[in-house]
Structure 1
Amino acid sequence: MNRARAVLFIAFSLAYPLAIYFALGRFEPRWLALLLFALALLRAIAAREAVWLVAAGGAGLLALTATIFNQALPLKLYPALVNAVMLAVFAISLRFPPTVIERIARLQDPQLPASGVAYTRRVTQVWCGFFVVNGSLALVTALWASDRVWALYNGLIAYGLMGLLFGGEWLIRQRVLAAHRG
């Protein structure tokens, strides 16, 4: 059941910007806030750590604000909130190791060498930088761009950039591993 909720949450999160874009102008923002309430509820149910509960509360607050004032802006701020939470999670793990990336790496290699720990720390720092830039762009598009630009960036371009970062890191990791082996 936990896995089903996680898959549902991820699917809703990925589809969120496009769903909001296509629904704006067809439905009042207060009705669209139901989607954000659903995301907040799924996150709260799945929350195992305080930061995710805070994220659910933030999403709920955005949804409540959209409902009360019947405005779309709180709905468009959700991607910026997600980036802020991810930045917090990754940055906190830098301060209080193991880092997020080290934890993921240890799933594959529990005996991660010191060089691997240093590498995962650097990758975590890169992700922090990504979340700063991506979150800033999500905020800028929510505040000052058209709905179309907001949806294009947050529903497509941001995911493409994430994929590029994942892919680029994977290529670099292969080179680093090859250098350490031979």
Structure 2
Amino acid sequence: MHAPAPTGKANASRLIGLGLLLAGLAYPFGVYLGLEHLSPRLFALLLGTLWLARLCSSKQTPLSYTMAATALLFCLLLGLAGEPALLRWYPVLISLALFGLFAGSLYSGMPIIERLARLSEPELPPAAVRYTRQVTWVWLGYFLVNAGIASGLALWAPLSWWTLYTGLIAYLLMGLLFAGEWLVRQRVRKAT
């Protein structure tokens, strides 16, 4: 038996999510390359449109609603102020929003890491559930450190340093954290 095909609304939600992901990946380079030629209001309009579409396209949990609403408020502030320096704060906002999302999941329902683990293994043993909570705490640390570094770069570093960190190094560190967690998970599985 085949799973039902995704509905049009589900497809739209996935496309918008992909658009936000790609916009997030390209954002630092867009700021670096476009700052002299594009208005911060244009960045606000483009990001705001994606976040508004995200908000309207899928069922929202209170945590994801808060993240989208926070991003929309940032876009509104950026659009009203038109201040180029504000552009550097978007990665900080996203890290803090993800921190809030992960932290909130620890206290309301199932932690995000546990939800992701249950996609491939629906019946997690109690040890695995404890492990996913610990991994969620590790990600909280990453998001806080990342927000701190991005804040420092936004305040005191040249645009090229900010771009290098927020556009490349932060993602490499995230990839290392994913890979490290995967290796630890394999060892934990073998030990149980």
Q: Same fold (TM over 0.5)?
A: yes
SS state of the match for residue 77, structure 1?
helix
Equivalent of residue 135 in structure 1, options 140, 147, 166: 147
In the TM superposition, what whole-angstrom CA distance separates every residue of 1:40-98 from its partner, at most 9, and x where no partner exists? 22332345123323322322222232233221122211111111111111111222342
2:42 is the alignment partner of 1:21:
no
Equivalent of residue 150 in structure 1, options 158, 162, 165: 162
CA change 1:46–1:163 in 2 (3 A) is farther
Deviates most, 10-19 or 26-35: 26-35
2:13 maps to a residue whose letter is N
2:182 is the alignment partner of 1:175:
no
Quote the Cα distance in structure 1 between the aligned partners of 2:64 and 2:45. 19
Output aligned runs, 1:31-110, within 5 Å.
Answer: 31-46=42-57, 48-110=60-122
Cα pair 2:44 2:79 within 8 Å, conserved: yes
CA change 1:46–1:144 in 2 (3 A) is farther
Quote the Cα distance in structure 2 between the aligned partners of 1:26 and 1:66. 16
Quote the Cα distance in structure 1 between the aligned partners of 2:165 and 2:53. 24
Cα pair 1:99 1:124 within 8 Å, conserved: yes
Cα pair 2:67 2:101 within 8 Å, conserved: no
Deviates most, 79-88 or 58-67: 58-67
Cα pair 1:66 1:75 within 8 Å, conserved: yes
1:11 maps to a residue whose letter is L
Cα pair 1:90 1:128 within 8 Å, conserved: yes
SS state of the match for residue 59, structure 1?
helix
**Over aligned residue pairs, what C-alpha RMSD do you find?**
1.6
Cα pair 1:39 1:59 within 8 Å, conserved: no
User: For structure 2, which runs of at least 5 residues remain unmatched after alignment?
Assistant: 1-11
Aligned pairs, number: 180
